Amino acid sequence: MNILIIENEIYLAQKIVSRLLDDGHSCDYIESPNIDNLTKEYDIILLSTSLPSALCKSIIKRYKEISIIILLVSYISDETVTNPIKDGAKDYIMKPFIMDELVRKLYHYKECRSIKRELQTLRDYVKFVMSDIDTSDVLLPPSFPILIESNSQMCSDKLVFELSRKIDMPITFISLNSTTWQKQINAVQFKSIIYLTDFHTLKRNAKENLIKLIEDKDCIISSLETEVDFPHRKIEFNNNNQLITNTNIMTINDYVKLMVLSYQTKYPDTELSKKLGISRKSLWEKRKKLGIEKKK
């Protein structure tokens, strides 16, 4: 990590620098900084609150979005701890302190920041890949068990993600394609939404066993087919933008017709026939046979 130590007690600062260098970190040390000369970016800043409060406030304001700021304090007061933490510092450590305790704090907050960044990246990714799925007219109640019938697994996923955030419960993901799904369900010990996918792949007796198993559990089941005999609450939510549904196997002619209708305005016939793996003459014959009007 790249660490800046701002401390006017020279002996303490040298001791911190020595320990952090031994741990393989890069360190800069200054006694009383000029705020205008601070141009580098740091992972962590160790800031002594024995400096003037206005200077501490300026440093925190500049670095709070990009650095983890830990206060080095001689005594606890509003000026040395409460106000700086309100301004954006993460934590404090009282002088004198054991060096191992300081190092523990550094790694703790570094890990927290990494987890936070990863979580935000994953949230952004989920939002990005599901951006075309509109759930504004769909309400998934926090009543369990419940079955979601959909032509798109992603539609079900988005509903479950939204419910998880709404009721502040984690999700345990279990695929019913797994040969150990029963053991996985029984192994869930902490309170979470048990999200079971691929219900449509089970045989009738397996579905009946599953329904008995999850009667008293916080469980959501996802199926890509219509489930007539499911005894609990069901919600149907389909993706109208999905070109191919999951519930039926299309004939070759139906597939060609769908692809031509969907992409003939995007590609010229030469490229469209190449993508379909047929000749341009065959594409013309397909249009004639299937009654596909050519659009410009």
pLDDT tens string, the chain, 296 residues long: the values are 889 999 888 889 999 999 999 989 999 888 877 777 777 889 999 999 998 889 899 999 999 999 999 999 999 999 999 999 999 999 999 999 999 999 999 999 999 989 999 999 999 998 998 888 888 888 787 789 999 999 889 999 999 999 999 999 999 999 999 999 999 999 998 899 999 999 998 999 999 999 999 988 999 999 988 888 899 999 999 876 655 555 556 678 878 887 887 788 778 888 888 888 899 888 888 888 888 877 65
Number of domains observed in the structure of the chain = 3
pLDDT of residue 242: 58
* Residues 229 and 261 both lie in one domain: no
Question: Are 180 and 222 in the same domain?
Answer: yes
Say if residue 231 is in the same domain as residue 261: no
Q: Are residues 183 and 95 in the same domain?
A: no
**104 in the same domain as 32:** yes
Give pLDDT, residue 225. 86
In a domain, 131, yes or no: no
In a domain, 177, yes or no: yes
Instruction: Tell me whether residue 138 is in a domain.
Output: no
Residue 220 and residue 151 share a domain: yes
- Copy the structure tokens of residue 7: 């401390």
**151 lies in the same domain as 110:** no
Contact 72, 45 (CB under 8 A): no
Q: Judge whether 23 and 49 are in contact, CB under 8 Å.
A: no
Type of residue found at 250: M
Predicted pLDDT of residue 248: 59
- Residue 249: per-residue pLDDT: 67
State residue 103's pLDDT score: 93
Q: Same structural domain for residues 15 and 106?
A: yes
Q: What is the CATH number of the domain that holds 71?
A: 3.40.50.2300
115 and 18 assigned to the same domain:
yes
Q: Are residues 98 and 187 in the same domain?
A: no
In a domain, residue 245? The reply is no
- pLDDT confidence of residue 20: 92
Q: Are residues 94 and 34 in the same domain?
A: yes
Whether residues 38 and 108 share a domain: the answer is yes
Domain containing 71 equals: 2-122
- Rounded CA-CA distance 221/189 in Å is 19
CB burial of 198-234 (b: ≥16 within 10 Å; e: otherwise) equals bbbebeeeebeebbebbeebbbbbbbbeeeeebeeee
- Name the pTM for this structure: 0.66
Strand partners, 149: 223, 236
Residue 162 lies in a domain: yes
